[in-house]
Amino acid sequence: MKTRPVTGTPSEILVEQLVESGVKYVFYNSGSREALFFDALHGNPNIHGILALHEGNVTAMAGGYTQVNSEPAVMVVHLGAGLAQCMGQLINVWFGGLPVVVVTFAGDTGSWGDRISLDLDHSFGPASISAPMTKATWTVIEPEGLPLAVERALRVAKTPPFGPVHIAVYDRMLGSQQVSTEIVEGGTMGLRSGSASDSDIDEILGALDSAKRPMIYAGDGIWKSGGEMVAAELATHFGAAVATTNTDHRGISIKHPQHMGGFESASYAYNPDLVISLGVRHQGSGNSTDFAPFRRVGRNGGRHLALGSDLEYLTNYPGLELGSVGDEKDAVRRMLTVASADYPSSRYDERRGTTLDQATKWRESRRNAMMPPAQQGKVRPGVLVDAIDEGLEDLGGGYVTNEQFAASHEAVRPGLSDRTNVYLRAGGGSEGWGVGAAIGAKLAAGDDPVVGFVGDGSLYYADSGLWTAVHHNIPVLYVITNNGAYGIVAGFFGEAGGQMSDTGKYGGVVLDGMDPVKIADAFGMEGERVEDESDLNDVVRRGMGIVNDENRPYLLDIRLPLGLPEGGEAAKQYLMR
Ligand SMILES: Cc1ncc(C[n+]2csc(CCOP(=O)(O)OP(=O)(O)O)c2C)c(N)n1
Ligand SMILES: [Mg+2]
């Protein structure tokens, strides 16, 4: 362990350790009891505070930051109240397994009174409420221990499987007293899992070779290990179909021509006789039918093998034939090496052709669904998806964060190149991610351009995040897919067989009377409404120009067809007077 002595206030020491550990930004919302911490943060030129106006946004920004290149993020929220407010977005960080360290400062409810404003009461320790949504959560009492606690938190968060860590620091230590301790030197390590055994690699390759309809079920473990390219190559090499969870468009890019989208529907369409789960945590709806795709594979005499960096990637697979624990990128690289000698790709040309046909049909159906009949004053979602994808790739490629359903990225044109855009989704589907995630992503992406797709409904959960983009001048292009509705929810209401679908009058899902351009304007961000799809490409290019050449955020309020089931209209809702 390399350390260097330090003397300073506890706040200065905490900030100094963050800097030493390589943390560049602290995402935060201010609180009064930790005044000296913020004093030290703003006084240190080697780290920057990014201010969000709601703790949900603080969390979404921190999470989005980690999704670009797996660098850990640190966020600070105020006492129990700030922690409670951040929990709605912490569910995304936790479900997505993202390396975020949450720091709260806590009052002492044990020694004197049991009621401290904004804090939990004495029956619940300050680390208690984050417990269900963190990998580890603990309390720090001694100021001399702050460097070790910070360094340990970052290491726990960044060890596969990644996940959020909470440290609650008793704020009584944040005084002006000088404390002497040691800063732990060295940035956060790129910790990796061990290697899968040679026999597991052989087993998987043999299965890929002999299957008729192999499917690679790809997940976040792939990008977290840096294995996106090699995993895509593996699928291409063996002519395997690709499927994923609805929270990951990145493990193997949704633009891979053999990608067939969500695993459940893809496995119905492709009917695989082999599923290789690669760094993917299977998720369902809490029903026994969640495992139906695997049952079907078994009934067909097919096989299911899984490889991932930790137990998390093997649990939801009843009856798994082979579960291999190892770093995904390392394993796939070794597979490709063996395959190039023993399993030449030409052997799978026919199979690849068949898979490509099926995947192309699948994508065409997604693209058709995004192209309803043209409507005056409205942009069709498919036109928008293409315009952004092409506009961004023309710039050399960038990141697209996505929190909306109206313009599905499953409908994006296929094709992999060195400019392929990276599509990111919220780890857990908890609304309020998109505005902040684009900001965090841009801070991590540096010069690479970032487009934030945010549904109108999603925007209203987190609109104050627009101010953060303005305040810190973070050049992001926001694309609001404005269908005037909680479209995805309305779709389910339409299928529920209740009075809404009978009458065609939908309550609780129509979002009218709001204007995203005015909202952006109020927060100091320029934007424009887009109602005509004929000049969409120009609008998108101009918007990207403003963001990337003039270096400021900009917002496009894209008016899409109303997001209600066919023929639906808004129900009258309660009016007090
Ligand atoms: C915290 C939280 N609350 C509620 C929901 C339920 N929900 C899922 S999507 C959605 C609305 C999405 O609306 P919008 O962003 O406009 O997307 P669209 O489907 O219209 O594209 C809601 C309310 C949720 N997922 N998370
Ligand atoms: Mg909507």
What separation in Å is there between the alpha carbon of 482 and the centre of ligand 1?
13
State the pLDDT at residue 562: 97
Last residue of a domain, one of 340, 365, 390: 365
- What is the best residue among 54, 246, 405, 478 to mutate for testing ligand 1's pocket, by most ligand atoms within 8 Å of CB? 405
State the Cα angle at 68 between 64 and 71, rounded to 5°: 90
State the Cα angle at 77 between 435 and 518, rounded to 5°: 30
What separation in Å is there between the alpha carbon of 486 and the centre of ligand 1?
6
What separation in Å is there between the alpha carbon of 501 and the centre of ligand 1?
19
State the pLDDT at residue 448: 97
- pTM given for the model: 0.97
User: Residue 3: which H helix or E strand, with range?
Assistant: strand 3-8
Q: Is the pLDDT score of 211 beyond 90?
A: yes
Could you tell me the sign of the dihedral formed by the alpha carbons of 501, 503, 509, 515, in that order?
positive
Mean pLDDT (the chain) is 96
* Lowest mean pLDDT, pick from 116-125, 156-165, 541-550, 565-574: 116-125
Residue 325 lies in a domain: yes
Question: Could you give the 3-state DSSP secondary structure of residue 104?
Answer: strand
Q: How many residues does the chain have?
A: 577
Question: Could you give the 3-state DSSP secondary structure of residue 62?
Answer: helix
User: Residue 181: which H helix or E strand, with range?
Assistant: strand 179-184
Please, how many CA atoms are within 13 Å of residue 196, restricted to the half-sphere of its CB?
31
Place 116 in a pLDDT band, splitting at 50, 70 and 90: confident
- What is the best residue among 458, 479, 483 to mutate for testing ligand 1's pocket, by most ligand atoms within 8 Å of CB? 458
Cβ(166)–Cβ(297) below 8 Å: no
Q: Is the pLDDT score of 515 beyond 90?
A: yes
Atom of ligand 1 nearest to the CA of 407: 21
Residue 359 lies in a domain: yes
Atom of ligand 1 nearest to the CA of 431: 26
Last residue of a domain, one of 184, 217, 247: 184
Is residue 178 classed exposed, middle or buried when 0-12, 13-18 and 19+ CB atoms within 10 A define those classes? exposed
Q: Is the pLDDT score of 189 beyond 80?
A: no
Instruction: Kindly calculate the radius of gyration of the chain based on its CA atoms and give it in whole angstroms.
Output: 25
User: Residue 570: which H helix or E strand, with range?
Assistant: strand 569-570
68 and 140 belong to one structural domain: yes
Return all residues near 374 (Cβ < 8 A) that are at least 6 apart.
380, 533
393 and 535 belong to one structural domain: yes
State the CB neighbour count (10 A cutoff) for residue 71.
19
Ligand 1 atom 18: the closest Cα is on which residue?
487
**CA neighbor of 94 nearest in space, from 290, 281, 311, 287:** 281
Return all residues near 401 (Cβ < 8 A) that are at least 6 apart.
64, 67, 424, 425, 434, 437, 438, 441, 450, 451, 452, 453
146 and 79 belong to one structural domain: yes
Atom of ligand 1 nearest to the CA of 482: 16
180 and 304 belong to one structural domain: no
Atom of ligand 1 nearest to the CA of 455: 15
306 and 275 belong to one structural domain: yes
Which amino acid is it at 233? E
390 and 464 belong to one structural domain: yes
Q: Is the pLDDT score of 248 beyond 80?
A: yes
* Encoded tokens for 385: 């998806």
State the pLDDT at residue 461: 98
Residue 307 lies in a domain: yes
* Encoded tokens for 212: 């008729």
Atom of ligand 1 nearest to the CA of 563: 20
* Encoded tokens for 293: 């795709």
State the pLDDT at residue 254: 97
Atom of ligand 1 nearest to the CA of 434: 15
- Residue range 437-448: mean pLDDT, rounded: 98
Alpha-helix residue ranges (DSSP H) falling in 159-276: 198-210, 220-224, 228-238, 263-270
**Ligand 1 pocket, CB under 6 A:** 88, 404-406, 429-431, 455-458, 481, 483, 485-489, 563
Ligand nearest to C-alpha 490? 1
State the CB neighbour count (10 A cutoff) for residue 307.
27
313 and 380 belong to one structural domain: no
Return all residues near 208 (Cβ < 8 A) that are at least 6 apart.
214, 238, 240, 274, 276, 343
Ligand 1 atom 12: the closest Cα is on which residue?
486
Gap between the Cα atoms of 394 and 385, Å rounded: 14
- What is the best residue among 431, 483, 506, 558 to mutate for testing ligand 1's pocket, by most ligand atoms within 8 Å of CB? 431
Residue 502 lies in a domain: yes
**CA neighbor of 415 nearest in space, from 369, 380, 363, 451:** 363
490 and 510 belong to one structural domain: yes
State the pLDDT at residue 297: 94
348 and 397 belong to one structural domain: no
Residue 464 lies in a domain: yes
What separation in Å is there between the alpha carbon of 438 and the centre of ligand 1?
17
The CATH number covering residue 131 comes to: 3.40.50.970
State the pLDDT at residue 353: 98
97 Rama sector, left if φ>0, alpha if ψ -120 to 50, beta otherwise:
left
Strand 526-530 versus strand 165-170 pairing type: unpaired
Gap between the Cα atoms of 112 and 119, Å rounded: 14
16 and 159 belong to one structural domain: yes
Residue 576 lies in a domain: no
Beta strands, E only, 390-499: 399-403, 422-425, 450-455, 477-482
Place 524 in a pLDDT band, splitting at 50, 70 and 90: very high
Is residue 15 classed exposed, middle or buried when 0-12, 13-18 and 19+ CB atoms within 10 A define those classes? buried
Last residue of a domain, one of 365, 386, 420: 365
Gap between the Cα atoms of 462 and 286, Å rounded: 28
**CA neighbor of 564 nearest in space, from 506, 503, 519:** 506
Residue 39 lies in a domain: yes
What separation in Å is there between the alpha carbon of 481 and the centre of ligand 2?
6
300-346 pLDDT, tens per residue? 899 999 999 999 999 999 889 999 999 999 999 999 999 999 999 99
What separation in Å is there between the alpha carbon of 485 and the centre of ligand 1?
9
- What is the best residue among 94, 489, 492 to mutate for testing ligand 1's pocket, by most ligand atoms within 8 Å of CB? 489
Which amino acid is it at 458? S
Top-confidence residue, 295 or 1: 295
Ligand 1 atom 16: the closest Cα is on which residue?
457
Q: Is the pLDDT score of 29 beyond 90?
A: yes
Residue 339 lies in a domain: yes
Place 190 in a pLDDT band, splitting at 50, 70 and 90: confident
- What is the best residue among 57, 93, 94, 486 to mutate for testing ligand 1's pocket, by most ligand atoms within 8 Å of CB? 486
Question: Could you give the 3-state DSSP secondary structure of residue 388?
Answer: helix
381 and 347 belong to one structural domain: no
Ligand nearest to C-alpha 482? 2
State the pLDDT at residue 120: 87
350 and 476 belong to one structural domain: no
Q: Is the pLDDT score of 114 beyond 90?
A: no
User: Residue 546: which H helix or E strand, with range?
Assistant: helix 536-549
* Encoded tokens for 56: 């949900």
Segments forming the whole domain that contains residue 553: 372-570
State the pLDDT at residue 121: 86
Is residue 400 classed exposed, middle or buried when 0-12, 13-18 and 19+ CB atoms within 10 A define those classes? buried
State the CB neighbour count (10 A cutoff) for residue 191.
12
Q: 41 vs 60, 208, 246, 354, CA distance in Å?
A: 21, 53, 38, 57
Peptide linkage before 161 cis (omega within 30 of 0): yes
What separation in Å is there between the alpha carbon of 552 and the centre of ligand 2?
25
What separation in Å is there between the alpha carbon of 94 and the centre of ligand 2?
25
Atom of ligand 1 nearest to the CA of 403: 15
Q: 57 vs 25, 66, 255, 468, 516, CA distance in Å?
A: 15, 14, 29, 9, 17
**CA neighbor of 164 nearest in space, from 191, 185, 184, 136:** 136
* Encoded tokens for 495: 């299928």
Gap between the Cα atoms of 238 and 328, Å rounded: 17
* Encoded tokens for 496: 């529920």
Q: 216 vs 21, 232, 234, 261, 557, CA distance in Å?
A: 36, 10, 9, 11, 37
DSSP, res 345: G
Gap between the Cα atoms of 255 and 348, Å rounded: 21
- Residue range 139-159: mean pLDDT, rounded: 96
Place 186 in a pLDDT band, splitting at 50, 70 and 90: confident
Q: Is the pLDDT score of 188 beyond 80?
A: no
| Torsion angle defined by CA atoms of residues 351, 353, 357 and 359, in that order, rounded to the nearest 10 degrees | 70
Q: Is the pLDDT score of 455 beyond 80?
A: yes
Number of domains making up the chain: 3
The CATH number covering residue 290 comes to: 3.40.50.1220
Ligand 1 atom 11: the closest Cα is on which residue?
486
Alpha-helix residue ranges (DSSP H) falling in 211-327: 220-224, 228-238, 263-270, 292-299
